[in-house]
Amino acid sequence: MLNVVVLVSGGGTNLQAIIDAVESGAITNTKITGVISNNKNAYALERAENHGVRGLCVSPKGYASREEFNEKFMETVDELKPDLIVLAGFLVVIPPAMIEKYRNRIINIHPSLIPSFCGTGFYGLKVHEAALARGVKVVGATVHFVDEGTDTGPIILQKAVEVQQGDTPEMLQRRVMEQAEWKILPQAINLIANGKVRVENGKVNITE
């Protein structure tokens, strides 16, 4: 059984997709042991509670320094004994010590086809604003392992989504979530939970 801890900052629609997939059996061999948010008002925490999943908040605002926060944050994660940590719209930088400790056991969902529209400053709606400003015709989402860089780790799954005439950033964000993120994030967790994902030479191999 894969123990999964999900880290969230906001609405938690990706968390919901994971919960639904576990409940429906689309994800097997998996238990969500906790959800941690840096924001006590995150609706994601309510979603967790509604499904009997433990929700915790660790906010940088509660600590005098980033070091103190990082320490408490890592302690909270460690106590939940995760086999896999899922960043589902988590907007806090992961402490390097945690990346080292959980090498190839932290995954992130990013709302673009990496390496386009990713890296520092590209998160949430900003990604879709940038894609529309550039006039690209195809966008999408990526699930990848987290390494020390921003959105630079080994890519697990990607899914493309077409831009439509008249799209606003909000419309595009919603379509990328519906058609890509809510599908490939649960799919990646299921593959990992069933031992189908290996990282070799910095690249992911998936066995069926």
Q: How far apart are CA 149 and CA 168, in angstroms?
A: 30
> Interface with ligand GAR by CB under 6 A: which range of 5-13, 33-41, 57-65, 95-103?
5-13
* 25 token code pair: 């059996």
Using CB under 6 A as the binding rule, the residues of this chain from 115 to 134 that contact ligand GAR are: 123-124, 127
Residue 89 vs 153, nearer CB to ligand GAR: 89
Does 11 interact with ligand GAR (rule: CB under 6 A)?
yes
Cβ–Cβ < 8 Å for 79, 56: no
Q: C-alpha angle 80/68/53, rounded to 5°? A: 25
Nearer to ligand GAR, 60 or 71 (CB): 60
**Nearest to ligand GAR of 175, 194 (CB atom):** 175
Told to judge if 110 belongs to the known catalytic residues of this protein, a careful annotator would answer yes
Here's the x/- map for ligand GAR, 71-110, by CB under 6 A: it reads as -----------------xx-------------------xx
Category of 71 on φ-ψ map: left (φ > 0), alpha (ψ -120 to 50) or beta: alpha
Q: Does residue 153 belong to the site contacting ligand GAR (CB under 6 A)?
A: no
Q: Which of 51, 110, 128, 144 is catalytic?
A: 110
With binding defined as CB under 6 A, does residue 181 bind ligand GAR?
yes
- Name the residues that contact ligand GAR, by CB under 6 A: 8, 10-14, 44, 88-89, 109-111, 123-124, 127, 177, 181
Which sequence positions are flagged as catalytic? 110
